[in-house]
Structure 1
Amino acid sequence: MTRAGIVDAAATLLREQGVHAVTTRAVAAAAGVQAPAIYRLFGDKDGLVDAVAEQVMAAYVAGKPPAEGDPVADLRTGWHAHVAFGVANPELFALLSEPGRAQRSPATAAGAEVLRGRIRRAAAAGRLRVDEERAFGMLHASGVGTVLAITGAPADARDPALADAMWDTVAAAVFTDAPASPADDLVALLTTVATVVPSLPALTAAERAMLGEWINRALHHLR
Protein backbone atom coordinates (compact mmCIF):
# COMPACT_ATOMS: atom_id res chain seq x y z
CA MET A 1 0.00 0.00 0.00
CA THR A 2 2.86 2.36 0.85
CA ARG A 3 4.58 1.66 -2.46
CA ALA A 4 1.37 2.31 -4.43
CA GLY A 5 0.74 5.54 -2.54
CA ILE A 6 4.25 6.79 -3.21
CA VAL A 7 4.03 5.98 -6.92
CA ASP A 8 0.63 7.67 -7.18
CA ALA A 9 1.94 10.79 -5.43
CA ALA A 10 4.99 10.91 -7.68
CA ALA A 11 2.83 10.40 -10.79
CA THR A 12 0.66 13.36 -9.79
CA LEU A 13 3.72 15.57 -9.31
CA LEU A 14 5.15 14.44 -12.65
CA ARG A 15 1.90 15.11 -14.48
CA GLU A 16 1.19 18.49 -12.86
CA GLN A 17 4.67 19.98 -12.38
CA GLY A 18 7.12 17.99 -14.47
CA VAL A 19 9.98 15.64 -13.72
CA HIS A 20 11.99 18.25 -11.82
CA ALA A 21 9.24 18.37 -9.19
CA VAL A 22 9.66 14.67 -8.45
CA THR A 23 12.14 15.06 -5.61
CA THR A 24 12.44 12.67 -2.71
CA ARG A 25 11.33 15.36 -0.26
CA ALA A 26 8.32 16.45 -2.34
CA VAL A 27 7.14 12.91 -2.99
CA ALA A 28 7.56 11.93 0.67
CA ALA A 29 5.48 14.93 1.74
CA ALA A 30 2.78 14.25 -0.83
CA ALA A 31 2.58 10.56 0.07
CA GLY A 32 2.73 11.15 3.82
CA VAL A 33 5.83 9.02 4.38
CA GLN A 34 9.38 9.58 5.50
CA ALA A 35 12.12 9.90 2.90
CA PRO A 36 13.91 6.70 4.03
CA ALA A 37 10.84 4.72 2.91
CA ILE A 38 11.41 5.90 -0.66
CA TYR A 39 15.06 4.91 -0.60
CA ARG A 40 14.17 1.52 0.88
CA LEU A 41 11.53 0.79 -1.78
CA PHE A 42 13.04 2.41 -4.88
CA GLY A 43 16.75 2.87 -4.19
CA ASP A 44 16.93 6.47 -5.41
CA LYS A 45 15.02 9.11 -7.36
CA ASP A 46 15.73 7.41 -10.70
CA GLY A 47 14.26 4.17 -9.37
CA LEU A 48 11.14 6.04 -8.29
CA VAL A 49 10.80 7.78 -11.65
CA ASP A 50 11.19 4.43 -13.40
CA ALA A 51 8.38 2.99 -11.27
CA VAL A 52 6.12 5.95 -12.07
CA ALA A 53 6.82 5.75 -15.80
CA GLU A 54 6.22 2.00 -15.77
CA GLN A 55 2.89 2.32 -13.97
CA VAL A 56 1.51 5.02 -16.27
CA MET A 57 2.75 3.28 -19.43
CA ALA A 58 1.42 -0.10 -18.30
CA ALA A 59 -2.04 1.39 -17.69
CA TYR A 60 -1.97 3.00 -21.14
CA VAL A 61 -0.95 -0.24 -22.89
CA ALA A 62 -3.53 -2.28 -20.96
CA GLY A 63 -6.23 0.14 -22.08
CA LYS A 64 -5.56 -0.32 -25.79
CA PRO A 65 -8.69 -1.65 -27.54
CA PRO A 66 -8.48 -5.03 -29.30
CA ALA A 67 -7.56 -4.98 -32.97
CA GLU A 68 -10.55 -5.68 -35.19
CA GLY A 69 -11.82 -4.65 -38.58
CA ASP A 70 -9.55 -3.17 -41.21
CA PRO A 71 -5.93 -3.68 -40.07
CA VAL A 72 -4.65 -0.40 -41.54
CA ALA A 73 -7.50 1.55 -39.96
CA ASP A 74 -6.64 -0.08 -36.62
CA LEU A 75 -3.01 0.94 -37.03
CA ARG A 76 -4.02 4.49 -37.86
CA THR A 77 -6.20 4.67 -34.74
CA GLY A 78 -3.43 3.25 -32.57
CA TRP A 79 -0.79 5.56 -34.03
CA HIS A 80 -2.90 8.64 -33.37
CA ALA A 81 -3.72 7.41 -29.86
CA HIS A 82 0.03 7.02 -29.23
CA VAL A 83 0.68 10.57 -30.38
CA ALA A 84 -2.19 11.90 -28.26
CA PHE A 85 -0.85 10.07 -25.20
CA GLY A 86 2.62 11.52 -25.73
CA VAL A 87 1.33 15.06 -26.20
CA ALA A 88 -0.81 14.73 -23.05
CA ASN A 89 2.14 13.32 -21.06
CA PRO A 90 5.20 15.13 -22.45
CA GLU A 91 7.49 14.68 -19.45
CA LEU A 92 6.69 10.99 -19.14
CA PHE A 93 7.02 10.46 -22.90
CA ALA A 94 10.42 12.14 -22.92
CA LEU A 95 11.56 9.82 -20.12
CA LEU A 96 10.30 6.72 -21.91
CA SER A 97 11.98 7.85 -25.13
CA GLU A 98 15.42 7.67 -23.52
CA PRO A 99 17.02 4.54 -25.05
CA GLY A 100 18.32 3.09 -21.79
CA ARG A 101 15.05 3.57 -19.93
CA ALA A 102 12.94 2.28 -22.82
CA GLN A 103 15.05 -0.87 -23.19
CA ARG A 104 14.48 -1.91 -19.59
CA SER A 105 10.75 -1.10 -19.52
CA PRO A 106 8.42 -4.14 -19.67
CA ALA A 107 5.47 -1.83 -20.41
CA THR A 108 7.27 -0.27 -23.37
CA ALA A 109 8.13 -3.76 -24.63
CA ALA A 110 4.48 -4.77 -24.26
CA GLY A 111 3.43 -1.72 -26.27
CA ALA A 112 5.90 -2.65 -29.00
CA GLU A 113 4.43 -6.15 -29.14
CA VAL A 114 0.94 -4.69 -29.58
CA LEU A 115 2.24 -2.68 -32.54
CA ARG A 116 4.01 -5.70 -34.02
CA GLY A 117 0.84 -7.76 -33.71
CA ARG A 118 -1.18 -5.15 -35.58
CA ILE A 119 1.47 -4.91 -38.27
CA ARG A 120 1.32 -8.70 -38.61
CA ARG A 121 -2.45 -8.43 -39.26
CA ALA A 122 -1.78 -5.91 -42.03
CA ALA A 123 0.91 -8.18 -43.50
CA ALA A 124 -1.39 -11.20 -43.44
CA ALA A 125 -4.01 -9.15 -45.29
CA GLY A 126 -1.50 -8.29 -48.02
CA ARG A 127 -1.43 -4.59 -47.11
CA LEU A 128 2.31 -3.99 -46.54
CA ARG A 129 4.64 -2.46 -49.14
CA VAL A 130 7.64 -3.21 -46.90
CA ASP A 131 8.55 -6.11 -44.64
CA GLU A 132 7.20 -6.21 -41.09
CA GLU A 133 10.40 -5.04 -39.38
CA ARG A 134 10.71 -2.04 -41.67
CA ALA A 135 7.02 -1.22 -41.11
CA PHE A 136 7.53 -1.39 -37.35
CA GLY A 137 10.56 0.88 -37.50
CA MET A 138 8.84 3.46 -39.68
CA LEU A 139 5.64 3.61 -37.62
CA HIS A 140 7.51 3.69 -34.32
CA ALA A 141 9.99 6.35 -35.43
CA SER A 142 7.30 8.54 -36.94
CA GLY A 143 5.16 8.30 -33.83
CA VAL A 144 8.00 9.22 -31.47
CA GLY A 145 9.26 11.98 -33.76
CA THR A 146 5.81 13.49 -34.16
CA VAL A 147 5.28 13.67 -30.39
CA LEU A 148 8.68 15.24 -29.80
CA ALA A 149 8.13 17.76 -32.61
CA ILE A 150 4.75 18.79 -31.22
CA THR A 151 5.76 18.98 -27.57
CA GLY A 152 9.02 20.72 -28.43
CA ALA A 153 7.21 23.67 -29.99
CA PRO A 154 5.56 26.49 -28.00
CA ALA A 155 1.89 25.77 -27.42
CA ASP A 156 0.80 28.70 -29.57
CA ALA A 157 3.07 27.69 -32.46
CA ARG A 158 2.12 24.03 -32.83
CA ASP A 159 0.87 22.77 -36.17
CA PRO A 160 -2.55 21.19 -35.53
CA ALA A 161 -2.35 19.22 -38.78
CA LEU A 162 1.16 17.81 -38.25
CA ALA A 163 0.05 14.42 -36.89
CA ASP A 164 -2.37 13.82 -39.77
CA ALA A 165 0.22 14.88 -42.33
CA MET A 166 2.88 12.61 -40.82
CA TRP A 167 0.53 9.62 -40.77
CA ASP A 168 -0.53 10.17 -44.37
CA THR A 169 3.10 10.39 -45.51
CA VAL A 170 4.30 7.32 -43.64
CA ALA A 171 1.19 5.27 -44.40
CA ALA A 172 1.62 5.89 -48.13
CA ALA A 173 5.11 4.41 -47.92
CA VAL A 174 4.16 1.46 -45.68
CA PHE A 175 0.72 0.29 -46.83
CA THR A 176 -1.01 -0.64 -50.06
CA ASP A 177 -4.55 0.56 -50.77
CA ALA A 178 -5.74 -2.99 -51.39
CA PRO A 179 -4.39 -6.54 -50.95
CA ALA A 180 -1.47 -7.19 -53.26
CA SER A 181 -1.69 -9.33 -56.39
CA PRO A 182 1.23 -10.70 -58.45
CA ALA A 183 1.08 -7.68 -60.74
CA ASP A 184 1.20 -5.22 -57.85
CA ASP A 185 4.06 -5.65 -55.44
CA LEU A 186 6.44 -8.55 -54.88
CA VAL A 187 7.49 -7.22 -51.46
CA ALA A 188 3.88 -7.15 -50.26
CA LEU A 189 3.30 -10.69 -51.49
CA LEU A 190 6.44 -12.09 -49.87
CA THR A 191 5.63 -10.29 -46.63
CA THR A 192 2.16 -11.83 -46.65
CA VAL A 193 3.54 -15.32 -47.28
CA ALA A 194 6.05 -14.86 -44.45
CA THR A 195 3.21 -14.50 -41.94
CA VAL A 196 1.91 -18.03 -42.65
CA VAL A 197 5.24 -19.85 -42.93
CA PRO A 198 5.37 -20.78 -39.21
CA SER A 199 2.06 -22.65 -39.49
CA LEU A 200 2.44 -24.29 -42.91
CA PRO A 201 1.41 -27.96 -42.77
CA ALA A 202 3.38 -30.90 -44.20
CA LEU A 203 6.73 -29.17 -43.52
CA THR A 204 9.20 -29.92 -40.79
CA ALA A 205 10.34 -27.20 -38.40
CA ALA A 206 13.67 -27.10 -40.23
CA GLU A 207 11.95 -26.72 -43.60
CA ARG A 208 9.75 -23.91 -42.30
CA ALA A 209 12.83 -22.19 -40.88
CA MET A 210 14.63 -22.53 -44.20
CA LEU A 211 11.66 -21.17 -46.15
CA GLY A 212 11.39 -18.25 -43.76
CA GLU A 213 15.10 -17.55 -44.20
CA TRP A 214 14.75 -17.57 -48.01
CA ILE A 215 11.82 -15.17 -47.90
CA ASN A 216 13.63 -12.82 -45.51
CA ARG A 217 16.72 -12.91 -47.74
CA ALA A 218 14.61 -12.03 -50.76
CA LEU A 219 12.91 -9.21 -48.88
CA HIS A 220 16.27 -7.86 -47.77
CA HIS A 221 17.47 -7.85 -51.41
CA LEU A 222 14.29 -6.09 -52.57
CA ARG A 223 14.46 -3.28 -50.02
Structure 2
Amino acid sequence: MIPPGSTDPVTNLEWAVSEGLTPYPAALEAMQARVAAIRAGEAPECVWLLEHPPSYTAGTSAKPEELVERRFPAYAAGRGGQWTYHGPGQRTAYVMLDLARPHGRVPARDIRAYVHALEEWMIRALDRFNIRGERREGRVGIWVARRAPGGGLREDKIGAIGVRVTRWVSWHGIALNLEPDLSHFSGIVPCGIREHGVTSLHDLGVLASMEELDSALMAAWAEVFQ
Protein backbone atom coordinates (compact mmCIF):
# COMPACT_ATOMS: atom_id res chain seq x y z
CA MET A 1 0.00 0.00 0.00
CA ILE A 2 0.97 3.62 -0.49
CA PRO A 3 1.35 5.05 3.03
CA PRO A 4 -0.81 8.03 4.03
CA GLY A 5 0.99 11.26 3.33
CA SER A 6 0.58 15.00 3.63
CA THR A 7 -1.86 16.63 1.20
CA ASP A 8 -1.29 20.08 -0.26
CA PRO A 9 -4.46 22.07 0.55
CA VAL A 10 -4.11 24.15 -2.64
CA THR A 11 -3.45 21.44 -5.23
CA ASN A 12 -4.90 18.44 -3.35
CA LEU A 13 -1.71 16.57 -4.21
CA GLU A 14 -0.62 13.94 -1.68
CA TRP A 15 3.07 13.41 -0.88
CA ALA A 16 3.65 9.89 0.45
CA VAL A 17 7.03 8.68 1.75
CA SER A 18 7.76 5.01 2.44
CA GLU A 19 10.36 4.04 5.01
CA GLY A 20 12.64 1.06 4.37
CA LEU A 21 12.65 -0.82 1.07
CA THR A 22 9.48 -1.46 -0.94
CA PRO A 23 9.53 -4.63 -3.11
CA TYR A 24 8.99 -3.76 -6.75
CA PRO A 25 5.94 -6.02 -7.31
CA ALA A 26 4.22 -4.45 -4.29
CA ALA A 27 4.86 -0.99 -5.71
CA LEU A 28 3.33 -1.96 -9.05
CA GLU A 29 0.23 -3.30 -7.34
CA ALA A 30 -0.13 -0.19 -5.17
CA MET A 31 0.29 2.15 -8.13
CA GLN A 32 -2.32 0.29 -10.17
CA ALA A 33 -4.80 0.58 -7.31
CA ARG A 34 -4.10 4.30 -6.84
CA VAL A 35 -4.41 5.03 -10.57
CA ALA A 36 -7.83 3.34 -10.63
CA ALA A 37 -8.90 5.36 -7.57
CA ILE A 38 -7.75 8.65 -9.11
CA ARG A 39 -9.58 7.83 -12.33
CA ALA A 40 -12.75 7.10 -10.33
CA GLY A 41 -12.42 10.32 -8.31
CA GLU A 42 -11.93 8.36 -5.09
CA ALA A 43 -8.36 9.46 -4.21
CA PRO A 44 -6.17 12.55 -4.72
CA GLU A 45 -3.24 12.68 -7.07
CA CYS A 46 -0.03 11.45 -5.48
CA VAL A 47 3.76 11.61 -5.59
CA TRP A 48 5.14 8.55 -3.83
CA LEU A 49 8.78 8.66 -2.66
CA LEU A 50 10.44 5.32 -1.91
CA GLU A 51 13.46 3.05 -2.26
CA HIS A 52 13.49 -0.47 -3.68
CA PRO A 53 15.65 -3.49 -2.87
CA PRO A 54 18.26 -4.07 -5.61
CA SER A 55 16.20 -4.83 -8.73
CA TYR A 56 16.36 -4.62 -12.51
CA THR A 57 13.21 -3.47 -14.29
CA ALA A 58 12.42 -3.79 -17.97
CA GLY A 59 10.42 -1.21 -19.89
CA THR A 60 8.45 -2.02 -22.99
CA SER A 61 11.51 -1.42 -25.23
CA ALA A 62 13.96 -3.50 -23.18
CA LYS A 63 16.10 -6.01 -25.07
CA PRO A 64 16.75 -9.35 -23.32
CA GLU A 65 20.45 -9.29 -24.25
CA GLU A 66 20.88 -5.98 -22.38
CA LEU A 67 20.31 -7.78 -19.10
CA VAL A 68 24.01 -8.54 -18.97
CA GLU A 69 24.14 -10.32 -15.62
CA ARG A 70 21.13 -11.33 -13.54
CA ARG A 71 22.64 -10.21 -10.23
CA PHE A 72 19.27 -9.20 -8.80
CA PRO A 73 15.58 -9.97 -9.44
CA ALA A 74 14.33 -8.68 -12.78
CA TYR A 75 10.78 -7.52 -13.40
CA ALA A 76 8.66 -6.42 -16.35
CA ALA A 77 7.66 -2.87 -15.44
CA GLY A 78 5.07 -2.08 -18.10
CA ARG A 79 6.40 1.48 -18.40
CA GLY A 80 8.13 3.00 -21.39
CA GLY A 81 11.88 2.75 -21.78
CA GLN A 82 14.45 -0.02 -21.43
CA TRP A 83 16.40 -1.53 -18.52
CA THR A 84 16.71 0.40 -15.26
CA TYR A 85 18.31 -0.42 -11.92
CA HIS A 86 16.56 0.39 -8.64
CA GLY A 87 18.14 0.03 -5.23
CA PRO A 88 18.92 1.50 -1.82
CA GLY A 89 20.29 5.03 -1.97
CA GLN A 90 18.26 5.88 -5.05
CA ARG A 91 15.17 8.05 -4.63
CA THR A 92 12.38 6.71 -6.78
CA ALA A 93 9.41 9.02 -7.19
CA TYR A 94 6.22 7.58 -8.62
CA VAL A 95 3.98 10.30 -10.00
CA MET A 96 0.26 9.66 -10.32
CA LEU A 97 -1.50 12.64 -11.92
CA ASP A 98 -4.71 13.14 -13.87
CA LEU A 99 -3.21 14.39 -17.11
CA ALA A 100 -6.65 15.11 -18.54
CA ARG A 101 -6.27 18.48 -16.80
CA PRO A 102 -3.34 20.93 -16.86
CA HIS A 103 -0.59 20.95 -14.21
CA GLY A 104 1.50 24.11 -14.18
CA ARG A 105 3.66 23.98 -17.31
CA VAL A 106 1.96 20.81 -18.55
CA PRO A 107 -1.12 21.34 -20.75
CA ALA A 108 -3.94 18.82 -20.56
CA ARG A 109 -3.38 15.55 -22.47
CA ASP A 110 0.17 16.37 -23.55
CA ILE A 111 2.45 13.45 -22.67
CA ARG A 112 5.50 14.97 -24.35
CA ALA A 113 5.14 18.09 -22.19
CA TYR A 114 4.68 15.90 -19.12
CA VAL A 115 7.94 14.02 -19.72
CA HIS A 116 9.72 17.32 -20.36
CA ALA A 117 8.35 18.59 -17.03
CA LEU A 118 9.67 15.52 -15.18
CA GLU A 119 13.10 16.27 -16.64
CA GLU A 120 12.81 19.92 -15.57
CA TRP A 121 11.78 18.79 -12.08
CA MET A 122 14.99 16.78 -11.66
CA ILE A 123 17.13 19.55 -13.17
CA ARG A 124 15.75 22.11 -10.72
CA ALA A 125 16.11 19.77 -7.74
CA LEU A 126 19.76 19.07 -8.64
CA ASP A 127 20.42 22.79 -9.10
CA ARG A 128 19.71 23.23 -5.38
CA PHE A 129 22.89 21.19 -4.76
CA ASN A 130 24.86 23.14 -7.40
CA ILE A 131 24.75 20.16 -9.75
CA ARG A 132 24.03 20.98 -13.38
CA GLY A 133 21.74 18.31 -14.74
CA GLU A 134 21.19 18.41 -18.49
CA ARG A 135 19.07 16.86 -21.20
CA ARG A 136 20.68 15.20 -24.20
CA GLU A 137 19.07 14.84 -27.60
CA GLY A 138 18.22 11.21 -28.29
CA ARG A 139 18.93 10.10 -24.70
CA VAL A 140 16.31 9.69 -22.00
CA GLY A 141 17.05 10.96 -18.50
CA ILE A 142 19.24 13.62 -16.92
CA TRP A 143 23.00 13.80 -17.46
CA VAL A 144 26.01 15.39 -15.79
CA ALA A 145 29.15 16.46 -17.68
CA ARG A 146 32.29 15.95 -15.59
CA ARG A 147 36.04 15.58 -15.85
CA ALA A 148 37.22 12.15 -16.95
CA PRO A 149 40.12 10.53 -15.01
CA GLY A 150 42.45 10.77 -18.01
CA GLY A 151 41.47 14.32 -18.89
CA GLY A 152 38.71 15.69 -21.04
CA LEU A 153 35.02 15.38 -20.29
CA ARG A 154 32.64 12.48 -19.85
CA GLU A 155 28.88 12.33 -19.38
CA ASP A 156 27.21 10.22 -16.71
CA LYS A 157 23.53 9.65 -16.06
CA ILE A 158 22.19 10.76 -12.68
CA GLY A 159 18.43 10.50 -13.21
CA ALA A 160 16.17 8.10 -15.11
CA ILE A 161 12.62 8.56 -16.40
CA GLY A 162 10.04 5.93 -17.31
CA VAL A 163 6.33 6.63 -17.51
CA ARG A 164 3.07 4.97 -18.28
CA VAL A 165 -0.29 6.67 -18.82
CA THR A 166 -3.54 4.76 -18.38
CA ARG A 167 -6.70 6.58 -19.42
CA TRP A 168 -4.81 9.84 -18.93
CA VAL A 169 -3.64 9.01 -15.41
CA SER A 170 0.16 8.80 -15.14
CA TRP A 171 2.17 6.31 -13.13
CA HIS A 172 5.80 5.23 -12.73
CA GLY A 173 8.05 8.32 -12.83
CA ILE A 174 11.69 9.10 -12.04
CA ALA A 175 14.71 7.63 -10.24
CA LEU A 176 17.38 10.01 -8.96
CA ASN A 177 20.72 8.66 -7.72
CA LEU A 178 21.65 9.91 -4.25
CA GLU A 179 24.11 7.21 -3.10
CA PRO A 180 23.30 3.84 -4.68
CA ASP A 181 26.02 1.23 -5.20
CA LEU A 182 26.97 2.25 -8.74
CA SER A 183 28.54 -1.16 -9.42
CA HIS A 184 25.02 -2.62 -9.42
CA PHE A 185 24.31 -0.88 -12.74
CA SER A 186 26.86 -3.17 -14.42
CA GLY A 187 24.30 -5.97 -14.64
CA ILE A 188 22.39 -4.11 -17.35
CA VAL A 189 22.91 -1.70 -20.22
CA PRO A 190 21.16 1.24 -18.52
CA CYS A 191 18.44 2.58 -20.82
CA GLY A 192 20.17 0.87 -23.75
CA ILE A 193 23.16 3.27 -23.65
CA ARG A 194 26.56 1.58 -23.56
CA GLU A 195 28.94 4.48 -24.15
CA HIS A 196 28.18 6.50 -20.99
CA GLY A 197 28.29 5.79 -17.27
CA VAL A 198 26.19 6.55 -14.21
CA THR A 199 26.80 8.84 -11.27
CA SER A 200 25.13 10.06 -8.08
CA LEU A 201 25.12 13.08 -5.79
CA HIS A 202 27.58 11.37 -3.44
CA ASP A 203 29.80 10.29 -6.36
CA LEU A 204 29.94 13.97 -7.34
CA GLY A 205 30.98 14.93 -3.81
CA VAL A 206 27.58 16.21 -2.64
CA LEU A 207 26.95 14.31 0.61
CA ALA A 208 23.27 15.21 0.95
CA SER A 209 20.81 13.10 2.93
CA MET A 210 17.68 11.50 1.50
CA GLU A 211 15.60 13.97 3.52
CA GLU A 212 17.46 16.89 1.92
CA LEU A 213 16.90 15.42 -1.54
CA ASP A 214 13.20 14.99 -0.80
CA SER A 215 12.98 18.63 0.31
CA ALA A 216 14.64 19.72 -2.94
CA LEU A 217 12.21 17.62 -4.99
CA MET A 218 9.21 19.05 -3.16
CA ALA A 219 10.40 22.63 -3.62
CA ALA A 220 11.22 22.12 -7.30
CA TRP A 221 7.83 20.48 -7.88
CA ALA A 222 6.04 23.73 -7.11
CA GLU A 223 8.10 25.55 -9.76
CA VAL A 224 7.18 23.10 -12.51
CA PHE A 225 3.79 21.54 -11.80
CA GLN A 226 1.92 24.32 -9.95
TM-score interval (norm. to shorter): under 0.3
TM-score normalized by structure 2? 0.27
**Structure number with higher relative contact order (C-alpha < 8 Å, ≥ 6 residues apart):** 2
TM-score normalized by structure 1? 0.27
> Which structure's residues are more often strand, by fraction?
2
> Which structure's residues are more often helix, by fraction?
1
- Higher Rg of the two aligned structures: 1
